[in-house]
Amino acid sequence: MTVIKVAILGFGTVGEGVYRTIESHADDLEAVLGKKVEVAAILIKNKQRERNIRKDVLVTTDFEDILNLPKLDIVIEAIVNKEPTFTFLQKAIERGCHIITANKEMFAHHGKHLIALANEKSVSVGFEATVAGGIPVIQTLRQLLKINRVQQIQGILNGTSNFILTEMREKKWSFAEALLQAQKNGYAEADPTNDVEGFDAFYKAMILSRIAFGEEPNWKDVEREGITPITSELIEAAEKLELRFKHIASISKEGTQIQVTVKPALVGKENPFYHVEGVENAVSVHSDIVGRITLQGPGAGMFPTASAVIEDLAYVCQNNNIKRNFNQTVSAELEQKKGKAKEFWLITGLSKNVIKPSITCIDEISNGVFVIRADKKDLDNLGKLDETISYFPILGEFESEVVSFEEKVSAL
């Protein structure tokens, strides 16, 4: 019986989950692939650490040992940072191996190059685990991309930020208190910048953009904002309106232009993201034939992430890469909807002298927190003039009655 030989780079949360899943699902893999899957080697950094790994598996700190294995079909990478992972995966492809990665930071930076190299060498690249952990968003997009045209993807892509926002609302905690709890639960790192400032979600958005539209915007043009400007007061004001803050990555194509934003927004009960709580992730895909599909589930963790990797393993073995022509533009209908003039915003930090006639006051929700209707461009200009102003879009329909600032806000 021929065997599919696998090497796993990294034996942390993801690497160990993948190893244990290959063991526990050996029969299923063999039934689907017609061959046994065997973990031949595991790369780690610290040789002293005790690990529960079978004696016949080579455990090494030297990547060359892995490349020198007499037979190797697939390299699964579950390490951290852009390097040495990128170099390892290039070498694995050069050797003729399929590769699978969970490393979004590396893949956002180097995915394009790895896929091009893999195409040259006629091997496949699996990267399901780089976006939204256990949610099969990449496979869903691959499936949709056969004929549908994806127009927009929105996602809650960072479980740590979503957990903090949920805790702040439910327990009436400050950002600092909720962050501390996230760190105690092991959801946030000692330095949480990557998660709370939106870098992690940004990397995932770039990967989604590339798969949905075949390209990504210039990274400098992407509006990236984390959850740190959201205060308990703003969350309380939003609750009065039955709205919830969510950190949302939005990827769309307008004409030939890719638009990506990664920032907090407010959603009402009718929005599928309203009930996405704690460390859960969700992705909503809008495409021209099927309309809107929303997937929700665990965005991280040992077995959810292993699930994504193991499905990739089956995918790369079947080697069914889809070639898609991305030269279409999105339908006029979506562009018209996008072109709608003014949107609703929750805003704080306004002072009377910056208010313009083009900004309409809808209501004062609590002291200094307003719902307004305005053009994004006007607000961006205000934001440049006065850094104390924070404003967050309210997504979807919003019931409103227009009043004047003078009528509503004598104290302003």
Ligand X SMILES: NC(=O)c1ccc[n+]([C@@H]2O[C@H](COP(=O)([O-])OP(=O)(O)OC[C@H]3O[C@@H](n4cnc5c(N)ncnc54)[C@H](OP(=O)(O)O)[C@@H]3O)[C@@H](O)[C@H]2O)c1
Q: Which residues are catalytic?
A: 204
Q: Whole-number minimum distance, CB 95 to ligand X, in Å?
A: 17
Residue 129 makes contact with ligand X by CB under 6 A: yes
Residue 102 makes contact with ligand X by CB under 6 A: yes
Q: Whole-number minimum distance, CB 84 to ligand X, in Å?
A: 5
C-beta of 111 vs 133, nearer to ligand X: 133
* Of the residues 4, 18, 74, 78, which one makes contact with ligand X according to CB under 6 A: 78
* Of the residues 1, 2, 46, 56, which one makes contact with ligand X according to CB under 6 A: 46
Q: Whole-number minimum distance, CB 61 to ligand X, in Å?
A: 6
The token pair at 377 is 């461009």
In order, the DSSP letters of 11-80 are -SHHHHHHHHHHHHTHHHHHHHHSSEEEEEEEE-S-TTS-----TTSEEES-HHHHHTSS---EEEE---
Residue 301 makes contact with ligand X by CB under 6 A: yes
What is the distance between the alpha carbons of residues 391 and 245, in angstroms, rounded to a whole number?
Answer: 12
Is the alpha carbon torsion for 114, 119, 121, 127 positive or negative?
A: positive
Residue 49 makes contact with ligand X by CB under 6 A: yes
Residue 218 makes contact with ligand X by CB under 6 A: no
Q: Whole-number minimum distance, CB 287 to ligand X, in Å?
A: 25
Size of the site for ligand X (CB under 6 A): 23
* Of the residues 41, 66, 99, 104, which one makes contact with ligand X according to CB under 6 A: 104
Residue 103 makes contact with ligand X by CB under 6 A: yes
Q: Are 195 and 160 in contact (CB under 8 A)?
A: yes
Q: In the Cβ-directed half-sphere of 233, how many Cα atoms lie within 13 Å?
A: 12
- In this structure, which amino acid lies at residue 410? S
Nearest one of 306, 284, 13, 45 to 141, comparing CA atoms:
284
What is the distance between the alpha carbons of residues 363 and 73, in angstroms, rounded to a whole number?
Answer: 62
* Of the residues 34, 45, 255, 406, which one makes contact with ligand X according to CB under 6 A: 45
What is the distance between the alpha carbons of residues 288 and 313, in angstroms, rounded to a whole number?
Answer: 30
Give the binding site for ligand X (CB under 6 A): 10-15, 43-46, 49, 78-80, 84, 102-104, 129, 133, 300-301, 305
